[in-house]
Amino acid sequence: MRILIVSTSEKTGGAALAANRLMEALNNNGEKAMMLVRDKETEQISVAALPSSWSLRWHFLWERWCVYWHLRFHREHLFDIDIANSGYDITRTREFQEADIIHLHWVNQGMLSLNTIRKILDSGKPVVWTMHDMWPATAICHLTLGCEQFHSRCSHCHYLPGSGGENDLASRIWGRKERMLQGKNILFVACSRWLATEAKKSGLLQGQKVVSIPNPIDLHVFHQEDKTAARQRVGLPLDKRLVLFVSQRVTNQNKGMSYLVEACRIFNSRHPETRDNTALVILGGHAEEVADQFEMPVYPLGYVNDTKRIVDIYNAADLFVLPSLSENLPNTIMEAMACGVPCVGFKVGGIPEEIDHLKNGYVAEYKNADDLARGIRWILDEANPQELSAHAIGKVASTYSQQRVALKYIEVYSQAAAYIHYRL
C-alpha cells in the first residue's frame, strides 16, 4: 500500500512528531509511506512539501484573521480554535493522486479546509484520520476542558466572547462539518483510549468508526544510557538529583507550570534538606522566564531540536514530571520512560494509560499540587529506582514499539480499503 500521511508540519509539535514517527515505523515494516506537509523542516526524501506559493501563507493568515474577528480582536484564544475556512487543495498534487490510502493527522491552521476534506472524501480513496486532540469531534476547539456541548451540537462556545444563538460561529462550523461528513465514512484513530471514549460521545461522529492506537517510538533512538556520561555531555551537575520538565513552550498554561511551582514549594518546605541535593531542569522555549519562580536550583535549557541532545537530557534525569491539565498521549512521557526515567503526571487524558501508578511512576490527583509533591517524593526517596526504570522501559517496549504500532495501523488501512470497496 502507498500511504500518504498528511500533516501541517513535518516535526514541530507533538502531533507532527508522532505522524513522522509513524511514517518511519510503516516504512520499517515493509509499507510505502510518505508525508505531505505545509512546513517541511528537513531534507528527508520521504517528506514532500506543498508547492511554495503566496497562497499557503494566505490560507493561514485569512483563517487567523477570521478567528481574531470572532474573538473581538482579543488574542487570548487565537490559537485555541480553528474554523478550517481556508486551505490547500491537496487532491491536485501528485502525491495524493498516487496514494492508495490518505491518512490525515493534525491538518489545522490553514493546511486543509473543510471543503478540501470533503474533496478528499469524494475522491473515493480510503481515508484514515488520526485524532491528536478533540478538533475532529467538535466544531472549533482542540481542548474541550470539561465542556460537553459536542455530545449533541456545539454552540455557545466558551472560547468565544458573547457566543450564543443558533447561528453562532461554533454552531455554523458544526453544520459545515456535518455536511462534510454526510454520506461519507472516515476511520478515526485516537492516540489514547481516553480520546477514543470522548470521540465516541460526539454527535458529529455518530455512525463513524473510532478505534484506539497509540503513537509509536523508535527504541533505537530513545533508550537508556549511562546517567553520568549523559550529564557530562549536556553540562548538568553530577551531585544533584534532577527533576525534568519538558514542553515545546513551557509558558503554555495547559502544561501546568503553576502546579509544578507549587508542588516544588511544598516538596522543599516539607523536606528542606532537598534544597541542596535536588534541582529542576526545564527543557523548552521560554524556560528562562519561569526559572526564578522556584525555590530550588533551576537549569533552564531552552528549546532544543537535536534529538541526540534531547535523549541525553532525558537520561540525565532522575524523574520526569508533566503536570498538564489536558493531554492525549504525550510523547514526552513515552520518551522519558523509554530512557528508563520514571514519570509523574496528573490523572487526566491518556497519562494514566502511560504511567502505571506505583509501578513505573506516580499518577497524581488532577490539579492537586500536594499530591504532585507526594509523587515527586515517592519516586526520589521511597521507591526502588532500578525497579521503576525497568518497568518504564518494559512498558514502552511492549506497548509503543514501532513494529507493534505499525502492524495495528496496517490492519486499520486494510479495513478502510475493504470498506470503500464494499461501498463501491
Q: What is the pLDDT of residues 14-60, one digit of tens each?
A: 999 999 999 999 999 999 999 999 999 999 999 999 988 888 899 99
pTM: 0.92
Q: Print burial letters for 201-226: b (CB count within 10 Å at least 16), e (below 16).
A: ebebbeebebebbbbbbbbeebbbee
The residues, any chain, with a CB within 8 Å of residue 119's CB and separated by 6 or more, are: 89, 91
Helix (H) or strand (E) holding 249: strand 241-249
Q: How far apart are CA 123 and CA 110, in angstroms?
A: 21
- One-letter identity of residue 236: L
Handedness of CA 397, 402, 405, 411 (dihedral sign): negative
The residues, any chain, with a CB within 8 Å of residue 421's CB and separated by 6 or more, are: none
Query: Which position has the higher pLDDT, 164 or 107?
Result: 107
Whether the per-residue pLDDT at 93 is higher than 80: the answer is yes
The residues, any chain, with a CB within 8 Å of residue 387's CB and separated by 6 or more, are: none
The residues, any chain, with a CB within 8 Å of residue 90's CB and separated by 6 or more, are: 6, 36, 50, 96, 112, 116, 120
Q: What is the pLDDT of residues 98-147, one digit of tens each?
A: 999 999 999 999 999 999 999 999 999 999 999 999 999 999 999 998 89
Count of residues making up the chain: 424
